[in-house]
Structure 1
Amino acid sequence: MDTAERIATMIAPTLEAMGFHLVRVKLIGAQRPVLQIMFERESSAPHDGGITVEDCSEVSRAVSAILDVEDPISGAYRLEVSSPGLDRPLTRKHDYERFKGFAAKLELGRPLAGRKRFKGRLAGISGEAVLLRDEETGEEQHLPFAEIANAKLVVTDDLIAASLAGRPAPVN
C-alpha cells in the first residue's frame, strides 16, 4: 500500500462521519510534495455543487489533525483540499454508473488492442469492465477497471446543464 492509499484509509471514515465521500488522495512531487484530497457530498446527482469554502476548511482541519497524529509523510508538504469539480476524476466503479451517458477520457496502464487512451460516452459497468462508447470508433469498448490508470469526465454542455439542474441528464 503506497502513502496515498494509507492516507485514504486513515481519513475516509472521518470524512464519511462528516457527511462527505473521499474521491481521491494524491501525493504529487518530491521536493515539497502536495497532498491533494478531493471530496464530495454523498449524492445521486452527477454534480451537486454543494461543496463550500467552509466545507473545505472543516475537512482541512479534520484531515490535518489526523495527519499530525499519524505522520504518514516525512518532511514538509502542502495540503490541498477541494471538491472534484466538473471534470472530476472517476475513481470507483460506482462513478462509471453514476455518470453513465456523460463524456469521459480514460487512460489505461498498458495498451489494449494497441491503445492506451480512450474518449467517449460512459455506458456503465459490466462485471470488471468499464463500458465506453468510443468517440473514435463508435464501438462500445470494454475496458478492464483494474487497468485504468486515469479517468475523468469531460466538461460538455450536457454535464454543465446537469450540474446546474442538480440532476442527471438523460442517458444516451
Structure 2
Amino acid sequence: MAKKRTVDIVEAFALPIVEENGVELVDVEYIKEGQDWFLRVYIDKENGITLDDCQAVSEALSKKLDETDPIEESYYLEVSSPGLDRELKKDKDYEKFKGRMIQISLYEPLDGKKMIEGELLGLEGNAVVIKVDERHNLEIPREKIGKVKLAVIIE
C-alpha cells in the first residue's frame, strides 16, 4: 500500500478517536527506518498532552487498526506529542503559531544561508512570511522550503 494512502486511512481512523479523547490530531507519519516500519501519530492539546492521553489514543487506534487491518506489512505504532520544536506542515499551524520564533530549512541557500530564523508573521499566498529583524520581513516561497519548525528558545 502506498505511504500516502496509508496515512490518509490512519488519519480517517484517528480523527474520531482523538476527538473523543479531547486532543488534536497534529500529524501522521508512516516511515521506514532500517528494516522496520513506524506509524507515528502526533497529538496535542492546549496545555500539553500526558502519557494517559497518548495511551488512550494508542489503545483505541491500535484496536481499530487490528479490526480493519489496512496495513499489509508489520509496523510499530507510536503515539506522542509533536514536541517543543514541532514541524509546521498545515496552513492552520501557521495561523496558530503566529508571533512565535521559527526555523526554516531551505533546499538552496538564500543570501548564503540554508537555515533562517525569525518571528512567524503568517502565510501570504504560497509564501511563509517572517520578521528577521526590526526593519526587515522576508517572504519565502514554500517550494523553496524543506522544513519549518518552532524554534526552541532557552532563556
Please report the TM-score for the alignment, with normalisation by the length of structure 2. 0.78
d(CA) in 1 for partners of 2:99, 2:67: 42
Deviations 1:52-105 (A, max 9, x none): 111111010111122112323222211111111211121222222222222212
Aligned residue number for residue 44 of structure 2: 40
Q: Which amino acid aligns with 1:32?
A: D
Identity percentage over the alignment? 37
C-alpha displacement of 1:18: 2.2
Give the direction of change, closer, same or farther, for the CA distance of 1:146–1:58 in structure 2 (3 Å limit): farther
Q: 2:20 aligns with which of 10, 17, 21?
A: 17
d(CA) in 2 for partners of 1:147, 1:16: 34
Aligned residue number for residue 60 of structure 2: 62
d(CA) in 2 for partners of 1:26, 1:77: 12
Aligned residue number for residue 129 of structure 1: 127
Q: Which amino acid aligns with 2:23?
A: F
Structure holding more strand per residue: 2
Q: Which amino acid aligns with 1:36?
A: R
C-alpha displacement of 1:111: 4.7
What is the DSSP-based 3-state SS (H/G/I as helix, E as strand, rest coil) of the residue aligned with 1:100? Answer: coil
d(CA) in 2 for partners of 1:140, 1:149: 20
Q: 1:142 aligns with which of 135, 139, 142?
A: 139
Q: Which runs of 5+ in 1 are unaligned?
A: 159-172
Aligned residue number for residue 148 of structure 2: 151
Q: Contact 2:21–2:53 (CA<8 Å) still a contact in 1?
A: no
RMSD over aligned Cα atoms = 2.7
Q: How does 1:115-126 map to 2 (within 5 A)?
A: 117-126=115-124
C-alpha displacement of 1:15: 1.1
Give the direction of change, closer, same or farther, for the CA distance of 1:83–1:147 in structure 2 (3 Å limit): same
Q: 1:88 aligns with which of 66, 86, 89?
A: 86
Aligned residues: 149
Q: Which amino acid aligns with 1:52?
A: T
Q: Contact 2:26–2:43 (CA<8 Å) still a contact in 1?
A: yes
Aligned residue number for residue 168 of structure 1: none
d(CA) in 2 for partners of 1:113, 1:26: 29
Q: Which amino acid aligns with 2:6?
A: T
Query: Does 51-60 or 124-133 show the bigger shift?
Result: 124-133
Q: Structure with the greater relative contact order (CA < 8 A, sep ≥ 6): 1 or 2?
A: 1
